[in-house]
Structure 1
Amino acid sequence: MSELIKRLQERRANVWEQAKALLDTAENEKRDLSAEEEASYQALNTDLDKIDVRVKDMVDGEQRAKDAEAALSGLLAKPETKPGGGEKKDNELRRWARGEVRGIDVPVPAGVSFRDLTKGTATAGGNTVPTTFYGQLMAHLIEVSGVMMAGPTVLNTASGETIEVPVTTAHSSAALTAEAAAISESDPAFAKRTLGAYKYGVLLQASTELLADTGVDLEGYLAMQAGRALGNAFGVHAITGDGSSKPTGIVTTATTGKTGGTGVAGAFTADDLIDLFYSVIAPYRNSTSCGWMMRDATLAAARKLKDSQGQYLWQPSIQLGVPDMLLGKPVYTDPNVAAVATTAKSVIFGDFSAYFVRMAGGIRFERSDDYAFNSDLVTYRAIIRADGLTVDQTGALKVFAGAAT
């Protein structure tokens, strides 16, 4: 890790201490923040977010440099030649990008995965794992989708036919039974839902001058642009999709774990978040995929809250690649979660592995030299097919909802 990144982390910790000092001063004097203090507090929160973005960009840049160096070393050490000739053999992606083939399919690994779509921390082994084009694209898709970052269960299928999924809506329950008395029957309740394969697509355009520049990282450019665009499009539906010709979002089927008080425009208190925390039963709460999700502005409010012992509920992360914590559980942000307001479901908490994401058929990339011929642009089209659904609807994921008034 570079010294600059370390200094940024130290600065982040210092900024948080300044923010805490403002809150503690107001609390000790038994008053709310003044207008000037509130402005300072919001500015400090903005600094925290900016530092997070800068650190992430620098870490990503260092990783890209390491990946490029490793790739170049491999090419120099093991040059590939075509049979019967001395020319270097290009991989399929580069041949497609130059227009030698019109389209390619990037297959997705088969099977079910749990929280394993990212490379993880580079220093913890990420640098030793070759990064495929599919892996790069998925990494960028995850970074802009809070749901994908939180660790859903991902079903990878070769094709997009409809999958019937049994959904648990109620568990069995036992009862105290007298000697020789009949035992009451209590069966779990199931419903049947379908996971389809809705199409998400994006068009990318690059100038011929850019593609002719031998220094451009074409794979990285395409993966970043396509991944972020597809992630943003799917991410909206993964949160709030109604299931009608689109995925069913987490909020759509999540139950309300806590409703806020009246007269506060939907705002929550520390006790509200603690109640929401314990509204999710222990098996889900203890899962490694259990966490919080809210938008950035909501997190800014959560940073102010303390428990009954005067301890802040929010604990900033001091380690790269590890999310901040709220009541000991990781916090993920997603702009598609509703803002704090009356009746709004502004905080999600629970076991995100109960949400199933279906990825069908990998990624399809196609190229056209004719679409923007008059502008001398090469057009690329990226398409994925995906769906999402909360499979365990017995309370694995719950929301905080603002009161109606």
Structure 2
Amino acid sequence: MSELIKRLQERRANVWEQTKALLDAAETEGRGLSAEEDETYQRLTGDLDQIDARVKDMTEAEQRAADAEAAFGKLLARPQTEDRKAPVEDSDLRRWARGEIRSFEVAPSEEARDLVKGTPTAGGHTVPTTFYGQLIEHLIEVSGVMMAGPTVINTSSGENIDMPVTTAHTTAALVAEGGTIPEADPAFAKRTLGAYKYGDLLQISSELLTDSAFNLEEYLSRTAGRALGNAFGAHAILGTGTNQPTGVVTSATSGKTGAGAVAGAFTADDLIDLYYSVIAPYRNSTSCAWLMRDATMGAVRKLKDQQGQYLWQPSIQVGVPDTLLGKPVHTDPNVAAVGTGAKSVVFGDFSQYAVRMAGGVRFERSDSFAFNTDLVTYRAIIRADGVTLDQTGAIKVFTGGAAS
């Protein structure tokens, strides 16, 4: 880890201590934050978010540099034979993206992935794993559900898959000697996982492709990945299940409805109640986490338990999310804002949410689509669906109530 990242983490810890001191002072005096203090609080929490974003960018840059160094080391150390194809380098992808070559091959012994369902005659659609990995990474980083660790089902085609969904568990009973054991079967329902299509179209001028030295692969993977992640991510949260995926909030059960001094708001006790509304097997899962929008985090950071300890704890390790009651916190802009009737906080075992990805990612290029404007057109397409497999309470929500 670079010294700069370490210093940023130290600064983050210092900002959090300032934030706690501000909140503690107001609590000691038995009052809320003044207008000036609230402005300071908003500035400090904004600093926390900015530091988080910068650390994330720097960590990703360091990882890319390390991956490139490892790849070059591997290539330099490997002897070449006449009957073996040379491994594909990033320049081949760049030449394909510019239109200089129509296709290229990847040596079977190298890590690679075919990104299209079709025949090789469709054009140059085979790209190195590094590009595919970046595209998927950017898709995931904008979706809170994907970051939370759902069960991902990859299929080569997009035919419907019937999934059994648990709606009630079996129960046992005390039985006397010689008594009849009562029947208590689990209840199942059937849900169909389809393959809804999400696409992104982006265009780049031929002059920019020809003359610019910018990182084309990173730009294409980031732009396409984030666009696909935003589109699917919205439905992974709030999808109705009709002509679109079933969102995790849509199929979640109620864990707590608030009744605080402010309509729609939650208290520390509300979040503790929501935490314990999820039964232990799910609560103890490594995929158990919180999900909320960024703006909600500002309210969460103010909360304390009955022992005066903050529920929210900042992470002190790069790549590890902050925690709330010991569980990681993920954010997604599609989760509802705090409000009356709004399901603003989600908590539970996200491995019980299944995401079906059909056929990988198609990434294609056309020189003729925008021929009259001399633009090169790229399109990225995924086919995906999602549904909660265990609907007995694996994932629950807090719902804002009226003021008490």
* Residue 32 (structure 1) aligns with: 32
* Residue 11 (structure 2) aligns with: 11
Q: Say whether the 8 Å CA contact 2:113–2:129 is kept in structure 1.
A: no
Distance 2:73 2:215 in 1: 16
Q: Which moved more, 1:81-90 or 1:208-217?
A: 81-90
Q: Structure 1 residues 182 and 358 mapped into 2: Cα distance closer, same or farther (>3 Å)? A: same
Correspondence for 2:289 among 288, 291, 299: 291
TM-score by length of 2: 0.88
Where in structure 1 are there 5+ consecutive unaligned residues?
A: 109-129
Aligned: 1:210 with 2:208: yes
Distance 1:201 1:54 in 2: 29
Aligned: 1:62 with 2:24: no
Aligned positions of 1:191-340 closer than 5 A: 191-213=189-211, 215-261=213-259, 264-340=262-338
Residue 132 of structure 1 aligns with an amino acid whose one-letter code is T
Q: Say whether the 8 Å CA contact 1:167–1:192 is kept in structure 2.
A: yes
What's the offset of the Cα at 1:204? 1.7
Distance 1:87 1:372 in 2: 33
Distance 1:396 1:272 in 2: 18
Residue 101 of structure 1 aligns with an amino acid whose one-letter code is R
Q: Structure 1 residues 16 and 101 mapped into 2: Cα distance closer, same or farther (>3 Å)? A: same
Q: Structure 1 residues 177 and 2 mapped into 2: Cα distance closer, same or farther (>3 Å)? A: same
Distance 1:6 1:210 in 2: 37
What's the offset of the Cα at 1:207? 2.5
Aligned: 1:42 with 2:42: yes
What's the offset of the Cα at 1:107? 3.9
Q: Which moved more, 1:257-266 or 1:16-25?
A: 257-266
Q: Structure 1 residues 87 and 314 mapped into 2: Cα distance closer, same or farther (>3 Å)? A: closer
Distance 2:30 2:335 in 1: 32
TM-score by length of 1: 0.88
Q: Which moved more, 1:254-263 or 1:44-53?
A: 254-263
Distance 1:317 1:86 in 2: 43
Aligned positions of 1:91-170 closer than 5 A: 93-94=93-94, 96-99=96-99, 100-101=101-102, 106-107=113-114, 132-170=130-168
Aligned residue pairs, count: 385
Distance 2:84 2:250 in 1: 60
**TM-superposition CA deviations, 1:103-148 (whole Å, max 9, x none):** 999547xxxxxxxxxxxxxxxxxxxxx9632221111111110000
Distance 1:376 1:183 in 2: 76
Identity %: 73
CA RMSD for the aligned pairs? 2.7
Q: Say whether the 8 Å CA contact 2:92–2:104 is kept in structure 1.
A: no
What's the offset of the Cα at 1:79? 8.8
Q: Which moved more, 1:254-263 or 1:157-166?
A: 254-263
SS in 1 for 2:214: coil
Distance 1:228 1:368 in 2: 21
Distance 1:206 1:80 in 2: 36
SS in 2 for 1:132: helix
Distance 1:361 1:304 in 2: 45
**TM-superposition CA deviations, 1:60-117 (whole Å, max 9, x none):** 1222233334444555566979979999988874564243338999547xxxxxxxxx
**TM-superposition CA deviations, 1:314-354 (whole Å, max 9, x none):** 00001000000000000001111000000000000000000
Distance 1:16 1:89 in 2: 44
SS in 1 for 2:170: coil
**TM-superposition CA deviations, 1:261-291 (whole Å, max 9, x none):** 0552210000000000000000000000001
Q: Which moved more, 1:49-58 or 1:96-105?
A: 96-105
